[in-house]
Amino acid sequence: MLFRHWTTSLVLACLMLSGNACAQTNKFDPVLSLSGMEQLIRAKQLTSVEQVLPYLPISFRSHYALAFHSRSLQSATYLNPRVILFGNNAKFILTFNGSAEQVGFNALELAEFNELSKTFSYQEILFPVASASTEGDNPKHVQFSSKNPDKCIACHGQQVRPIWDSPPVWPGMYGERYREPLSAAEIDGMTEFLAQQATHPRYRFLERVDIWRERDTFAPTHAATYSGRDTESPNAQLTQLLSRMNLERIAHQVTESPNFEAFSYALLASLSNNCASVSDYFPSNWQMVAAPAYQQFSRSDELHLAREIARKNARELVSKSSGNGMSKNNSLLDFRFIAEFGLRIDTSEWSMQLEKNAADFSAIDAVQSKLEQRLLAKIAATDKDLINAFYYHSYPDKNKYCAYLEKRSIGKLAQQTPKELPVWEQKPSGLPEIAFAEKNTTAPKRVTELLLLCAGCHTTGVAPPIPFNNPALLRQKLKLPYAAKGTLADEILFRLSERAGAHRMPPNMTLSTDEQVMLEQFFRQ
């Protein structure tokens, strides 16, 4: 009995320490922060990205991902990829690209995770163009944006979260498919990139470049696995780190909610793989309201996930293989439903996908147990019997743990008045965004996928509003005057052509000849 109490205390202590005594921490470097970067640039009077890079710690420059296509404010190519430096823990991220002809060349994009507030902050640093005339001291012309400026919020959302694809596919990233060799296009691009890396004004500061030459970096052989040389790819490493921090953000938002105590046991049960459906954790006086709300939420979730699959398939550029790379079982459906229905929390920006209301949480799979642990620690602080009940989480007594959660949840909610209107019914559901895929049966499937890709920016506030998701409305607007190029159809056809130069659409994506012809035919109808 003494051993049981001692073990219980130790487990609870480890859960609540959250990475102090029970997890390894990374040494903090003051340069690796938004304020630290500004202080460095001002103190050293740095006036370009190239001047900043050698001041970054070698360990930080040793961990990075490379993008050959990007939806960010910094464009990318195979030869001049966008570098995403993330160090050992991704709590500070710095990005740049490599050619003066690219969008965002004179900018550093920064991201920082605050451990106390569990929030992300983004910032852009703009350096003066080398050919531009300057007055006085050059550093005075370096522009530091405020934290989370509008141009960052447009993509990263009002709740401000990282934008990163979920495994096993990272469209536009070197190592696009998890545990698969580089495609022919990636190999050619990487060969050209590495040939210039050592003498490139920016890329020469990257460390551990040799890993990009090794097949085991992306698709480990059996020999690498058996010898212990099997490590995760840069994309997978960044996924794990970002997912863990995003999970911390979600857990903080949930546990700090005024309604958390009432729904705490239902939330905890929704994270268990062993407990029954979410309805079992609501008392009878809640069932008439909760059941239909859950059905509606579930249908909405399925439609959003279908839309995301189409969009992600359209963005996968170089390694078209079987499968869509997204799981329909990783949407945290029950957990998000209780958060929306009970806690009145808007979960539309919980996912790390660019699109709002994204239902793909497969990136969080590897750390989902951490979310359960966070809630367990929070509840166990006032319920000393919970940890003992948690021991029954394993076979053959798993039902005892779930029965305990069910009893406590019903007891808590029986004292509450059922919520009449879920918060997600009060805001646009976004379901019309998939109207094109449902209604249009004449356009080729690939055209549908590409238009959904366009809708991902033009119906979410990222780009000028154009109803690519609504065929009937789109056809009406195509004939209307738009900008200086004539009609909207003229403008779109111009943006699809080589004449648009750096402003060609889709951004950072090269259409095949067949894709180009199909789209032009569609917009000329």
Residue 169 within any structural domain of the chain: no
Read off the pLDDT band of 259 (50, 70, 90): very high
Residue 10 within any structural domain of the chain: no
Strand pairing class (119-126; 143-144): antiparallel
Same domain, 43 and 186: yes
Same domain, 257 and 213: no
Range with the poorest average pLDDT among 179-183, 287-291, 380-384: 287-291
Same domain, 297 and 380: yes
User: What pLDDT, on the 0 to 100 scale, is given for residue 393?
Assistant: 59
- The token pair that represents 294 in the structure block: 């859950």
The string over 50-65, giving b where at least 16 C-beta atoms fall within 10 Å of a residue's C-beta and e elsewhere, is: eebbeebeeebbebbb
Same domain, 411 and 465: no
Same domain, 210 and 105: yes
Residue 14 within any structural domain of the chain: no
d(CA 309, CA 363) in angstroms, rounded, equals 14
Q: Where are the alpha helices (DSSP H) in 283-332?
A: 284-315
- The token pair that represents 288 in the structure block: 């008439």
Residue 168 has pLDDT above 60, yes or no: yes
Q: Residue 371: how many CB atoms within 10 A of its CB?
A: 21
Same domain, 74 and 47: yes
Angle between helices 260-270 and 234-255 (to 10 degrees): 150
Residue 5 has pLDDT above 80, yes or no: no
Residue 107 three-state SS? strand
Q: Is 444 in contact with 518 (CB distance < 8 Å)?
A: yes
pLDDT average, residue stretch 475-495: 82
Strand pairing class (82-85; 143-144): unpaired
d(CA 481, CA 501) in angstroms, rounded, equals 22
Q: Where are the alpha helices (DSSP H) in 414-444?
A: 435-439
Name which residue leads in pLDDT, 155 or 429: 155
Could you report the per-residue pLDDT of 104-137, keeping only the tens digit for each? 999 999 999 999 999 999 999 999 986 544 444 3
User: What pLDDT, on the 0 to 100 scale, is given for residue 206?
Assistant: 99
Residue 429 has pLDDT above 50, yes or no: no
Same domain, 202 and 253: no
Same domain, 197 and 277: no
Same domain, 126 and 191: yes
User: What pLDDT, on the 0 to 100 scale, is given for residue 22?
Assistant: 40
DSSP 363: G
Q: How far is CA 35 from the centre of its chain?
A: 24
Same domain, 249 and 352: yes
Residue 287 within any structural domain of the chain: yes
pLDDT average, residue stretch 149-170: 90
| Complete DSSP assignment for 364-409 | GGGGHHHHHHHHHHHHHTT-THHHHHHGGGSTTSHHHHHHHHHHHH
Q: Is 180 exposed, middle or buried (0-12, 13-18, 19+ CB in 10 A)?
A: middle
Domain membership of residue 123 as a residue range: 26-163+179-226
- Residue 506: cis peptide before it, omega within 30 degrees of 0: yes
> Torsions phi, psi of 26, nearest 5?
-100, 140
Closest CA to 379 of 277, 215, 255: 255
Number of structural domains (the chain) is: 3
Same domain, 413 and 446: no
Average pLDDT, the chain: 81
Across the chain, which distance is largest between two alpha carbons, in Å? 82
Same domain, 158 and 53: yes
The string over 489-521, giving b where at least 16 C-beta atoms fall within 10 Å of a residue's C-beta and e elsewhere, is: bbbbbbebeeeeeeebbbbbbebeeebeebbee
Which stretches of 115-258 are assigned E, i.e. beta strand?
A: 119-126, 143-144
Range with the poorest average pLDDT among 41-50, 169-178, 287-296, 440-449: 440-449
